[in-house]
Amino acid sequence: MSFHEATNVRVPCFSSVDEDRIQKLLKEDRFFWLDLESPTEEQLDKLADVFGFHPLAVEDTRSFHQRPKLDDYDQYAFLVFYGGPSKSTELDDLREVHMFISGKYLITVHRAPMPELHDEREKIDGHAVHSEQFVIYRILDALTDSFFPPLGRIDDEIDSLEDAMISGPSNEQLDRVFSLKRYLVHMRKVVTPQRDIFASSIDQLAELPGLQLDERDYFRDVYDHLIRISDLLDSYRDLLSGATDLYLSTQANRQNEVMKQLTIIATIFLPLTFLTGFFGQNFAFLVRNINSALDFWLLGIGSLVLSCALLALYFWRKRWL
């Protein structure tokens, strides 16, 4: 029974360009997974020589920061796919993976550490799996699901920012909101084309020689996850827009409260200024007839205290105090 006729297959997984082992597996028609992290120029040259990759595909692998895409080269396909940022990096530091997919092999090339791929290698290497498609699905699913933890952190941070804004808005909070918006825009530039690949171009893999897609549910599951991630990005952008409005409204309310307090103080001092200005006039009548201590306490201090009391009572009844 050939490899492709087996119900369960065992896929060798390794992480270095072992030319003898690769040639042996190719001759035996055994599907394998080669995972390379930060390969050197010499390793890429050897990879191109052993597998006969197209120069354009090799050139794309040398220069990262590619847009997600799926290129068909007849005997194999070249896929650029992204995983979410790790816990130790910034949210916009997405991890790029280049894949050479064929009916005989799967090669993944990446520069950043990918614990998800390492875990999948441990699970797949030497263990029975359903098919070659299942291996590809596990890798794409692991990369796709790596977006959920950072999105969960963004969700928690948005809640914290909203609570902090209600307590007391600050410029640092507004700067963080704008930073999160930029992160989400950066993620969306990657997630949207990846979603489009699964919506329209993933059938190209079925046409690769030797690679039979036994079930469409695998890639449909990845597509569903990408749609969910895209919806979360839109929802969080709306939440951040709402957080910006909350910041502005809270800031405006605080300014209004300050203005009300200043207005109350100015209003209280208005009659005081009038009274002191009136009695401070140098008219002979005022100087001759208002000259006793009783007049000072009743007319001078008394009128000032009475005006303050009347204004305080008025503000209290208006519920401004």
pLDDT of residue 254: 79
Q: Looking at the structure, tell me whether residues 231 and 284 fall in a common domain.
A: no
Write b or e for each residue in 147-156: b if 16 or more Cβ atoms lie within 10 A of its Cβ, otherwise e: beebbeebee
pLDDT of residue 6: 44
- Helices assigned H by DSSP within the chain: 19-27, 41-51, 55-62, 115-124, 132-145, 148-167, 171-196, 217-279, 284-289, 293-295, 302-317
Q: Looking at the structure, tell me whether residues 169 and 279 fall in a common domain.
A: no
Q: Looking at the structure, tell me whether residues 224 and 269 fall in a common domain.
A: no
* Side chain identity at residue 150, one-letter code: P
Helix (H, G, I), strand (E, B) or coil at 72: strand
Q: Looking at the structure, tell me whether residues 217 and 302 fall in a common domain.
A: no
**Residues β-bridged to residue 83:** 95
CATH number of domain containing 171 = 3.30.460.20
Torsion of CA 220, 225, 231, 233, to 10 degrees: -140
Tally the domains of the chain: 2
Q: Looking at the structure, tell me whether residues 262 and 241 fall in a common domain.
A: no
Backbone angles phi, psi at 8, to 5 degrees: -120, 140
Q: Looking at the structure, tell me whether residues 224 and 303 fall in a common domain.
A: no
Contact call for residues 243 and 180 (beta carbons, < 8 A) = no
Q: Looking at the structure, tell me whether residues 124 and 200 fall in a common domain.
A: yes
pLDDT by position in tens, the chain (length 321) = 333 444 577 889 998 888 899 999 999 888 999 999 999 999 999 999 999 999 999 999 998 889 999 998 988 999 999 999 877 656 668 999 999 999 899 999 999 889 999 999 988 887 888 778 888 889 999 999 999 999 999 999 999 998 888 888 888 988 999 999 999 999 999 999 999 998 887 777 767 776 655 556 678 888 999 999 999 999 999 999 998 888 888 888 777 777 877 788 888 888 878 777 767 766 666 666 666 777 777 777 788 788 888 888 887 887 776
pLDDT in tens, 199-246: 887 777 767 776 655 556 678 888 999 999 999 999 999 999 998 888
The pair of three-digit structure tokens given for residue 85, joined into one six-digit string? 């940022």
By residue range, what is the domain housing residue 8?
3-250
| pTM for the structure as a whole | 0.76
* Side chain identity at residue 29, one-letter code: D
**Within 10 Å of residue 279's Cβ, how many Cβ atoms?**
16
Q: Looking at the structure, tell me whether residues 308 and 241 fall in a common domain.
A: no
Q: Looking at the structure, tell me whether residues 46 and 170 fall in a common domain.
A: yes
Q: Looking at the structure, tell me whether residues 153 and 294 fall in a common domain.
A: no
Contact call for residues 79 and 102 (beta carbons, < 8 A) = no
Residue that terminates a domain, selected from 226, 250, 274: 250
